[in-house]
């Protein structure tokens, strides 16, 4: 009753009781599907069959505005003005749903202050049901109906923006009483506009969603790059430390071998300088017969330590003048 401007529900109840208006009778009274009002009016008044005149240029302007890549909420006022022009209406609004499916008023035309009850009620019903709605001016069939405000437009139309069974917004329009009523042709035209607007809204939402996901992925990649650089730097520093430690170890090992060689020479003065000469000659020969092995320190170690066994031989045996006995030869071997 409020949507159609009635000051009470009596008029609807009287016609429901007389069987003139489809309704359901329950313990709490009558219930109505708001869509039945237009069907009832169309059957009662043949003058409501009025095909709308489609302005192709204006329809093209709406399509171009939606395809321009701008956000629907940014161009909603421009789209609404053109949609109302197509519907030959001077009063209307566009509602968009937020993430919680709550209707937010996005744009209005021909409304100076508060939204008319019919606009709000029709928008909420359409958003909840996902169905388009025509609400007629009931004074067209009964001049004795009492209304709250005779100066307010009464014919109302509302269509949802539906994409993949999801309502993303609602377009509503109203007409003055001195204009022809809305009909199924206007509803079809408005549905075409709503479909385009719904696709544009969905495109924007997908674009925003992809943008957020790409931003998250980029942040993760940047963090991964930072971690990789840090890890690479740490491994590089660790490799340098290992190389330095290896060089120190090699130097220490070579010093130990040379120390052992020096100890062998000190134990047997007869071979003084012998180990260094053998090492010099051995490395020189190695350069000639196998250059690839010349850089292997194992050969130098072998040359320096080839007499290291003398360290385990008693000086009396090692420095004995004259031939050795059998036991002494066994010890030497």
DSSP string covering 61-123, please? HHHHHHHTS--HHHHHHHHHHHHHHHTT-SEEEEEEE-TT--EEEEEEES--SSPPHHHHHHH
* pLDDT exceeds cutoff 70 at 253: yes
Strand partners, 31: 24
Position 199 confidence tier, pLDDT thresholds 50, 70, 90: confident
> Which tens digits make up the pLDDT trace of 90-127?
888 888 887 666 778 888 888 766 677 767 888 888 88
Both tokens of residue 218?
């980029």
User: What's the predicted TM-score (pTM) here?
Assistant: 0.55
> Which tens digits make up the pLDDT trace of 137-153?
777 666 667 766 655 55
Would you call 142 helix, strand, or coil by DSSP?
coil
Residue with tokens 């008029």: 11
How confident is the model over 5-16, as a mean pLDDT? 78
Lowest mean pLDDT among 50-64, 126-140, 269-283: 50-64
Answer with the residue of higher pLDDT: 59 or 81: 81
Position 286 confidence tier, pLDDT thresholds 50, 70, 90: very high
Q: How far apart are CA 133 and CA 119, in angstroms?
A: 11
How confident is the model over 158-169, as a mean pLDDT? 84
User: Is the Cα torsion angle 204, 115, 59, 192 positive or negative in sign?
Assistant: positive
Position 89 confidence tier, pLDDT thresholds 50, 70, 90: confident
């Amino acid at each position: 009753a409020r949507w159609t401007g009635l000051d009470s529900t009596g008029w609807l109840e009287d016609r429901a009781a007389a069987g003139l208006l489809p309704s359901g009778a329950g313990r709490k009274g009558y219930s109505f599907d708001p869509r039945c009002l237009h069907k009832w009016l169309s059957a009662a008044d043949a003058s409501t069959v009025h095909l709308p005149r489609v302005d192709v240029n204006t329809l093209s302007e709406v399509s171009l505005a939606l395809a321009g890549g701008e956000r629907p909420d940014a161009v909603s006022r421009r789209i609404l003005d053109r949609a109302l022009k197509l519907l030959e209406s001077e009063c209307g609004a566009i509602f968009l749903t937020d993430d919680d499916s709550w209707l937010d008023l996005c744009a209005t035309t021909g409304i100076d202050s508060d939204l008319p009850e019919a606009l709000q009620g029709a928008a909420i019903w359409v958003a909840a049901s996902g169905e388009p709605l025509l609400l007629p001016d009931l004074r067209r069939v009964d001049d004795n109906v009492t209304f709250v405000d005779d100066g307010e437009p009464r014919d109302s139309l509302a269509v949802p923006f539906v994409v993949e069974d999801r309502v993303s917004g609602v377009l509503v329009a109203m007409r003055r009483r001195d204009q022809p009523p809305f009909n199924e042709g206007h509803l079809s035209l408005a549905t075409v506009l709503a479909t385009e607007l719904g696709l544009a809204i969905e495109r924007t939402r997908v674009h925003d969603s992809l943008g957020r996901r790409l931003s998250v992925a980029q942040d993760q990649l940047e963090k991964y790059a930072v971690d990789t650089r840090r890890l690479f730097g740490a491994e590089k520093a660790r490799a340098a430390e290992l190389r330095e430690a290896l060089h120190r170890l090699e130097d220490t090992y070579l010093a130990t071998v040379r120390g052992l060689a020096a100890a062998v020479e000190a134990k047997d003065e007869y071979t003084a300088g012998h180990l260094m000469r053998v090492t010099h000659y051995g490395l020189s020969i190695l350069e000639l017969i196998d250059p690839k092995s010349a850089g292997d320190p194992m050969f130098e170690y072998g040359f320096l330590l080839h007499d290291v066994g003398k360290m385990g031989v008693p000086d009396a045996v090692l420095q004995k003048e004259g031939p050795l006995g059998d036991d002494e030869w066994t010890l030497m071997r």
